[in-house]
Structure 1
């Protein structure tokens, strides 16, 4: 099988280049069929995300020629000059291609090491190819193997267990204080990208009561409607603070939004039930003196970065284990493919041997029908079958010897389990 991968990702190209070769879902089916017609491949699937575009193909011809055709097709399809695109693309074939696909599916090639979303995106890419009719037996087997190995990496390593984003680390910290997050209330100060990610992570943890406070109410409402939260103004924070078990702040304010006095007042109304406060902002949104209050667990962006750095190191260690799994799986797959090639040869040789056997058996039966001696017929059958089975190998070995092909002679001795002549 000539398995090929052509791609461009966050490591090989800038976002300006990546967006020029991205595929939108609406054009995927036509693009897949166009590639089969013009890129010289038998099967095709396309993965297109914000960080990568990759073509997975099974070629009928040589890998080198198909790589060039695929690259040219990608350039032509998106109207990008081929020499310019070639500077940013990478290509793999056969076992290296399979290893790359496994690494991508396992999150080892992602911008955020070990992120799980890419596996779902690869499954969608495969499903689109199946629907378009461009993924048949070859890619079926490849993707089945890729998904199986990606699942094994998730099961046998801790590649995805340690949060490596500030937003997720902030949410993860709250679990060290509150055993049941679903029973907690959260106040999020700000409405930017980080707060949006925090809000999504909190929803995934089962928190239902989320309040988003922002200087601009419209932005807070937009985010709140999407997540089923409540939107308020910054001026409303004192009203909601006493009800909040978790407070996460990330604004662009030049001055602190929450001071020690406001938090202390909220704690009294809470009857000193603990609060987790996470300040992701620079400059800080929460006065450092808040940490002096005994019922508050205050974390700053530096605390989070330290956690994220430690977790990145932990993931890198797990990535080494994942690599071992992938290399072993790819080697096993490669061996299976070679075995399939051998099986085809064995079948052909067996069919030829059976044809020779049938011919000799038919001759022997005719001789017996004429009344020839059974002993003589059996001797002739054995001699004739032996000679015919050995004729072709003998001829080829003599020719190999004449040409100095001692490697073939050595292989023949191993194949027929013959003793070394010098032993």
Structure 2
């Protein structure tokens, strides 16, 4: 940890445009720090504009979630990360020293690698989770709308989205559930298949129940009933998913409707007994019921699991599924890291190629100028009575001489000065055979 913090305080000097990422996440900072530097979505445009005005940054994007706040930027200045850190502290009314111990910072290929790992879910609290990709796309959209997303950073984000899609389709990184709620809903889908005709009863209104309801809603379950001790506590959860609210005493009368039941309360005693389930099964004409008891201590009497047409899973049953799936994701993550490494090299190759763009454009402009000049003279020769053959001969000879004059002159100078690396570079640039050895016209 000490070495990591020491590394975080190092700021290297740059003399050319570089890509940076700077931020904190669930591994580097406690929630008390993370919550103090979150950027509100409705103020992202203002934040990006302020960042660009206050720092020597010419491209920027901000990713801000409950688990991470990261700033991706491009700059040609020296120590731009110091300025960005100072702005980050001022924006959130914090001293840089309060943030810096938890900060990580990456430049160039390390920054590219970090973004690709984030996009693929390899840097997430839950390995391989897909939500981060959507959050990255929102960050990309916000930066685009704010005008802070330039050619290089824009290309990097698009590359990250492409790599994440490749990793999702070519590995099993996201195919296995690794949360209790996700595992519960995945098992329900295996048993029932189509969720649209089904009714799910959720007992409790805590975080796990909310996550399970979210997964059920995303799979288009037909109806959700939230049963809780108080209606007020269940209201925010029910409003999110258009669910119906009932109190705990109403559970036995509504239980026959439940094809899926997921329970997670803090009750010290079971909420659902064998007798109530037997009556519900009779009313359902023995149609199966899928039940998940996530609570500790248990909400559903263990004897219920031995009943015919009841599929009851406890948190321990799900933990076995999760551990097996986590191992599957770890193996997929190793494959994903190999893909990412290859794609880092690919992007850095594109980035390095941008250094030649100005030179190539200038070379083409110069050649085009020579072409126009010589062509005008050739056309003038025809107007003054010269034959087309004479004009074409002049055009070819003069154009060749003008295009070759400067390179040949520089090559002669290089040879005289012993700059043989320029001779070798010319052979590569113009695809020439090695011919820099002196010629002995008198023989040996």
Task: Please report the TM-score for the alignment, with normalisation by the length of structure 1.
Answer: 0.85
Task: Indicate which of 47, 50, 68 corresponds to 2:66.
Answer: 50
Q: Is the 8 A contact 1:221 1:230 kept in 2?
A: no
What is the CA distance between 1:39 and its match in structure 2? Answer: 0.8
> Any unmatched runs of 5+ in structure 1?
none
Distance 1:200 1:370 in 2: 83
Task: Indicate which of 18, 37, 62 corresponds to 1:21.
Answer: 37
Distance 1:332 1:274 in 2: 53
Q: Which residue of structure 2 aligns with residue 306 of structure 1? A: 320
Q: Is the 8 A contact 2:152 2:351 kept in 1?
A: no
SS of equivalent residue, structure 2 residue 173: coil
Task: Indicate which of 144, 149, 171 corresponds to 1:157.
Answer: 171
Q: Which residue of structure 1 aligns with residue 442 of structure 2? A: none
Task: Indicate which of 19, 22, 35 corresponds to 1:6.
Answer: 22
Distance 1:218 1:350 in 2: 71
> Any unmatched runs of 5+ in structure 2?
1-16, 438-444
Structure 1 residue 73 corresponds to structure 2 residue 87: yes
Structure 1 residue 37 corresponds to structure 2 residue 37: no
Counterpart mapping for 1:393-412 below 5 A: 393=407, 396-397=410-411, 400=414, 405-412=419-426
- Relative to structure 2, which stretch is displaced further, 326-335 or 274-283? 326-335
- Relative to structure 2, which stretch is displaced further, 318-327 or 282-291? 318-327
Counterpart mapping for 1:102-181 below 5 A: 102-181=116-195
Q: Which residue of structure 2 aligns with residue 87 of structure 1? A: 101
- Superposition RMSD on alpha carbons, in Å? 3.4
Shift of the 404–306 alpha-carbon distance from structure 1 to 2, 3 Å rule, reads farther
Structure 1 residue 218 corresponds to structure 2 residue 218: no
What is the CA distance between 1:371 and its match in structure 2? Answer: 11
Q: Which residue of structure 2 aligns with residue 282 of structure 1? A: 296
Shift of the 291–43 alpha-carbon distance from structure 1 to 2, 3 Å rule, reads same
SS of equivalent residue, structure 1 residue 45: strand
What is the CA distance between 1:304 and its match in structure 2? Answer: 0.8
Q: Is the 8 A contact 1:188 1:213 kept in 2?
A: yes
Aligned residue pairs: how many?
Answer: 421
Structure 1 residue 101 corresponds to structure 2 residue 82: no
1:31-89 deviations in Å (ceiling 9; x for gaps): 21121112101122212111111112222x14x52222222221232232223322222
What is the CA distance between 1:354 and its match in structure 2? Answer: 5.4
Distance 1:273 1:288 in 2: 20
